[in-house]
């Protein structure tokens, strides 16, 4: 197992060195920082059971997937940063939910929600807004599951949800 961890650390260091615009690594604290969000997660090296280096189908750039003991996967990908599986624990199944998301996705979708709510104040929000909010919730739940602190982002999403409720009731 130590050999797998050593190999994973070496691959991670090399990947981050060439992708510092999306992910930073602090070796001393074993933390990864998602550049887009500024949020960090601690890497539990003792729980890393395998890693894979893959090629992104769109960018053709390499990305790295860490497989943890509990079945969780964390991917380092450009574009995107730190990617993970969304969680539908609080949303139920969602038809348009991708299998892998990142906090950059959350910010993109939240921006679309806010556009509908605040740039079109005189119009009722379309149904799509609720679909976007549900994907945002699944994204934040997935982020929490891999170790991100997302309380502040949840508060911001809650404000948008209250505005949707106010405008549709």
The per-residue pLDDT for 167 is: 85
Q: Which residues pair with 48 in a beta bridge?
A: 68
Residues ≥6 apart with Cβ < 8 Å to 98: 86, 105
User: What digits encode the pLDDT tens for the residues 37-47?
Assistant: 999 999 999 99
Q: How confident is the model at residue 1 (pLDDT cuts 50, 70, 90)?
A: low
Residue 81's alpha-carbon distances to 90, 127, 163, in angstroms, are 24, 29, 30
Q: Is the pLDDT of residue 106 over 90?
A: yes
Buried b (16+ CB within 10 A) or exposed e, 15-42: bbeebeebbbbeeeeeebbbbbbebbbe
The per-residue pLDDT for 104 is: 96
**H runs (alpha helix) in the chain:** 2-18, 103-118, 127-145, 151-168
Asked if 48 and 68 touch (Cβ cutoff 8 Å), the reply is yes
User: What digits encode the pLDDT tens for the residues 62-83?
Assistant: 999 999 999 999 999 998 999 9
The token pair that represents 53 in the structure block:
């280096």
The token pair that represents 153 in the structure block:
């982002």
The per-residue pLDDT for 120 is: 87
Q: Provide mean pLDDT across the span 127-149.
A: 96
Asked if 61 and 55 touch (Cβ cutoff 8 Å), the reply is yes
Task: Report the percentage of the chain scoring pLDDT > 90.
Answer: 85
The per-residue pLDDT for 103 is: 97
The pTM (predicted TM-score) of the whole model is: 0.93
Share the mean pLDDT of the chain: 94
Q: Provide mean pLDDT across the span 155-165.
A: 94
Q: Is the pLDDT of residue 156 over 90?
A: yes
The per-residue pLDDT for 168 is: 84
Task: Report the percentage of the chain scoring pLDDT > 70.
Answer: 99
């Amino acid at each position: 197992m130590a050999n797998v961890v050593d190999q994973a650390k070496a691959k991670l260091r090399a990947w981050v060195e060439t992708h510092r615009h999306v992910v930073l690594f602090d070796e001393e604290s074993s933390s990864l920082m998602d550049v887009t969000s500024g949020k960090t997660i601690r890497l539990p090296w003792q729980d890393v059971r395998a890693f894979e280096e893959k090629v992104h189908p769109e960018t053709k750039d390499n990305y790295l997937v860490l497989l943890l003991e509990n079945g969780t996967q964390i991917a380092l990908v450009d574009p995107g940063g730190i990617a993970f599986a969304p969680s539908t624990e609080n949303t139920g199944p969602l038809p348009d939910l991708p299998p892998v998301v990142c906090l950059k996705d959350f910010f993109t979708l939240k921006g679309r929600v806010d556009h509908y709510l605040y740039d079109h104040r005189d119009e009722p929000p379309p149904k799509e807004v609720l679909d976007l909010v549900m994907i945002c919730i699944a994204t934040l739940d997935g982020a929490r599951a891999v170790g991100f602190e997302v309380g502040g982002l949840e508060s911001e999403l809650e404000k948008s949800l209250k505005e949707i409720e106010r405008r549709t009731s």
